[in-house]
């Protein structure tokens, strides 16, 4: 335990949670992080110009959560602001409606502590329909209830140094900004390992970004195109290796 | 496939855009993405304009240097691929349509049977957006342009 304490700065995990009108679920999300058995944990909530009661929902965690605010500017900007403020050597992202499993951080952190060459770990995700939804709405969701590997906010833990090497999330993307980051990280040679453990429970509800902002899905096409162009440039003989 | 068949893009599962002359298609539910070439993009435009199969052939014949048999075979095979990947769906024959007429090109371009490249390496990231069947549920889902509704990120 003494060794663990001495290394606590190296072990500190910063969890960045952007929040835009997330009053209904954010307390659950924060509690799921507080349940982690990790000796050095920092929770940063970035309120992205919410117009609901998000602020007071977070205020009840006074002392346990760093609360930042920005004018509404999108998830990427909010996550970037949170990273700027983060002090941990390890970095995780979570959305304001999703839940970590109790063992998430332990499962994700262990391989990174064992292997200094590893840049990121990825766990499994399962989806659930938010329990308060009426039956009519519940049955509208099509999804597989099985845990699946998914590189997304909430399933990954990375070294801060690797995040800095890859760079900030693109603020121009309304959707797919984290997918874009992962693909840029891949191109930059980030090494990651998958842990076969459920770490994220993703809440499906009627205000999911993908449900409300279907138009923003077009950003995924841009993300794919950028990744294809990077690969082609890397494969071209005169391109960067 | 009949000459008067009409196809439509499998929205909202499929999103697409022509960026720098390259047509990229993403099937969000499958988590697959696709690229195609110039002729494929031209054919996609015609599908999007709700042309019948015979109108597609005719339009391609006016845009590209190829005989009717070559165009017919290439159109059939490309449409088959698109249907197979669930990127387009065949419309009910009775559905009304007003196909968009394009101006004829000044000179024809060389023809090559269109190619659809499919990729699945981003499946764990692309197939994540929740799909919600509004009609099936009979539940009102807010429209994006409704100012009273704000989305969350997830």
Q: What is the pLDDT of residues A184-216, one digit of tens each?
A: 999 999 999 999 999 999 998 877 766 666 677
pLDDT at A106: 96
Contact A179 B126 (CB under 8 A): yes
Of A217, A226, A229, A230, which to mutate for an interface test with B (greatest number of B Cβ within 10 Å)?
A217
pTM of the model: 0.87
pLDDT at A3: 43
**Partners of A5 in beta bridges:** none
pLDDT at A25: 95
Using a CB-CB distance cutoff of 8 angstroms, which residues of chain B are in contact with residue A210?
128-130
Q: Which residue of B has its CA nearest to A153?
A: B154
Q: Is the pLDDT score of A21 beyond 90?
A: yes
Position B145 confidence tier, pLDDT thresholds 50, 70, 90? very low
Q: Which pair of tokens denotes residue A8?
A: 């606590």
Condensed to tens digits (0 to 9), the pLDDT of residues B31-90 reads 999 999 999 999 999 999 999 999 999 999 999 999 999 999 999 999 999 999 999 999
Position B146 confidence tier, pLDDT thresholds 50, 70, 90? very low
* Nearest CB neighbour to A215, from listed B122, B129, B144: B144
Using a CB-CB distance cutoff of 8 angstroms, which residues of chain B are in contact with residue A218?
15, 17
Secondary structure of chain A as H, E, C letters: CHHHHHCHHHHCEEEEEEECCCCCCHHHHHHHHHCCCCCCEEEEEEEECCCCCHHHHHHCCECCEEEEEECCCCHHHHHHHHHHHCCCCEEEECCCCCEECCCHHHHHHHHHHHCCCCCEEEEEEEEEECCCCCHHHHCCEECCCCCEECCCCCCEEEEHHHHHHHCCCCCCCCCCHHHHHHHHHHHCCCCEEEEEEEEEEEEECCCCHHHHCHHHHHHHHHHHHHHHHHHHHHHCCCCCC
pLDDT at B101: 66
Q: Which B-chain residues 40-99 have CB contacts (< 8 A) with chain A? A: none
ipTM: 0.86
pLDDT at A228: 96
CA distance B121 to chain A (A): 11
Domains of chain A: 2-235 (3.90.550.10)
Q: Distance (Å, rounded) from C-alpha A77 to C-alpha B61?
A: 48
Q: Which residues contact A181 (CB under 8 A, 6 or more apart)?
A: A166, A169, A170
């Amino acid at each position: 335990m003494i060794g663990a304490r001495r290394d606590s700065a190296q072990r500190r995990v910063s969890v960045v949670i952007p929040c835009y009108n997330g009053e209904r679920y954010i307390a659950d999300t924060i509690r799921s992080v507080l349940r982690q058995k990790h000796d050095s944990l920092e929770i940063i909530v970035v309120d992205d110009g919410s117009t609901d009661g998000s602020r007071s929902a977070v205020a009840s965690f006074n002392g346990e959560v760093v609360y930042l605010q920005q004018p509404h500017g999108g998830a990427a900007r909010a996550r970037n602001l949170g990273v700027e403020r983060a002090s941990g050597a390890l970095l995780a992202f979570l959305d304001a409606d999703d839940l970590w499993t109790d063992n998430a951080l332990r499962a994700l952190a262990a391989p990174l502590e064992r292997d200094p060459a590893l840049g990121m770990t990825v766990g499994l995700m399962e989806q659930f329909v938010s329990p308060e939804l009426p039956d009519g709405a519940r049955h509208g969701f099509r999804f597989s209830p099985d845990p699946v590997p998914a590189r997304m906010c909430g399933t990954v833990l990375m070294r801060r140094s690797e995040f800095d090497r890859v760079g900030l999330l693109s603020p121009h993307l309304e959707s797919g900004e984290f997918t874009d980051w992962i693909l840029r990280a891949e191109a930059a040679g980030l090494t990651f390992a998958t842990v076969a453990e459920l770490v994220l429970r993703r809440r499906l509800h009627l205000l999911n970004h993908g449900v409300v902002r279907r138009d923003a899905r077009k950003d995924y096409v841009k993300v794919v195109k950028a990744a294809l162009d990077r690969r082609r440039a890397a494969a071209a003989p005169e391109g960067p290796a | 496939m009949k000459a008067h068949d009409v196809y439509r893009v499998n929205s909202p599962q499929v999103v697409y855009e022509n960026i720098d002359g390259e047509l990229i298609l993403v099937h969000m539910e499958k988590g697959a993405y696709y690229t195609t070439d110039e002729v494929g993009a031209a054919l996609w435009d015609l599908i999007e304009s709700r042309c019948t199969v015979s109108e597609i052939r005719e339009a391609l014949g006016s845009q590209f240097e190829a005989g009717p048999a070559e165009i017919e075979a290439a159109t059939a095979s490309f449409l088959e691929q698109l249907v197979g990947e669930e990127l387009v769906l065949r419309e009910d024959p009775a559905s009304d349509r007003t196909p968009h007429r394009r101006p004829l090109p000044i000179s024809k371009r060389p023809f090559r049977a269109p190619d659809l490249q499919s990729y699945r390496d981003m499946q764990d990231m692309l197939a994540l957006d929740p799909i919600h069947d509004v009609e099936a549920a009979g539940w009102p889902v807010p429209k994006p342009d409704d100012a009273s509704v704000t989305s969350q990120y997830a």
